[in-house]
Amino acid sequence: MHRAGHVEPSDGSDLIGREVTAIVPAPRAPERMRIKIGRRTAAELDRADVEHLELRVGTVWSDALARRAESAAEIERARRAVLRVLARRAASRRQIAEKLRLAGFSAEAAEAALAHFQAQGLIDDDAYAEAAARSIVARKATGRELLVSSLRARGVDAETARRAAAAALEDRDVAADALTLARQKARSMPADLDEHARRRRVYAQLARRGFSPEVCRNAVDQALGVGQGSDPD
């Protein structure tokens, strides 16, 4: 009980050793329960965590129980943070993990939250990578290497990125995509540019878009006419 001239510790250490007096729904989140000791709230937990911790009226609020409750509460906060991320846009596991780290969650709480949603299928790097790869390819002509690099930059591991890139390009005519891009680049260059410079610029454009050297050479040859058959310097 609060007394005049007595300041109760803000960390709740003065509640240790006392009994839980009530377990009631949180006013604005009835799925969450407030653990009351007297007039004070010792913790606010998900109903499942209350059951898991076997909390009842009369349970002694020990130091070990307080630590377990805080751990459960942090994991629940991390889960809500993950849901906020996923509500805005799809993301890879690594991207979400980084957001949790920046938000200040412990590694243990972050891992528990990520594992929870991964088990539910809401975090699925295979599905995310394939959807992202198809979206990239649909927007612009893209070669395999750039596609893999783009997925890696989004937190997808190398093997998953390679599989997703292969799947996204499976139904694409990569050579035709490269040729279309080469012709677009050729039309945009000054007419008085010498042949070597034209070939070099078109080749560089294709290479930056992730097309293989062979695809680049063939597209340059078809767009500008057969040259020396080697990569432009």
DSSP string, the chain: ---TT-PPPTTSGGGTTPBP-EEEEETTEEEEEEEEETTEEEEEEEHHHHHHTT--TT-B--HHHHHHHHHHHHHHHHHHHHHHHHHH----HHHHHHHHHHTT--HHHHHHHHHHHHHTTSS-HHHHHHHHHHHHHHHS---HHHHHHHHHHTT--HHHHHHHHHHHHTTS-HHHHHHHHHHHHHHHS-TTS-HHHHHHHHHHHHHHTT--HHHHHHHHHHHH----SS---
Structural domain of 36:
13-119
Say yes or no: 20 and 110 in one domain.
Answer: yes
How many domains does the chain fold into? 3
Does 141 map to a domain?
Answer: yes
pLDDT of residue 186: 84
Residue 68 maps to a domain: yes
In a domain, 233, yes or no: no
Please check whether residues 67 and 82 belong to one and the same domain: yes
pLDDT at residue 2 in the model: 42
What CATH number did the domain enclosing 78 receive? 1.10.10.10
pLDDT at 141: 81
139 and 184 in a single domain? The answer is no
In a domain, residue 1? The reply is no
42 and 90 assigned to the same domain = yes
What was the pLDDT predicted at 180? 84
**Residue 232, pLDDT score:** 57
- Give the pLDDT of residue 111: 97
Report the pLDDT value the prediction gives residue 3, as an integer from 0 to 100.
44
- Give the residue ranges of the chain where pLDDT is below 70: 1-11, 226-233
Mean pLDDT of all residues belonging to the chain:
88
Residue 230 is assigned to a structural domain of this protein? no
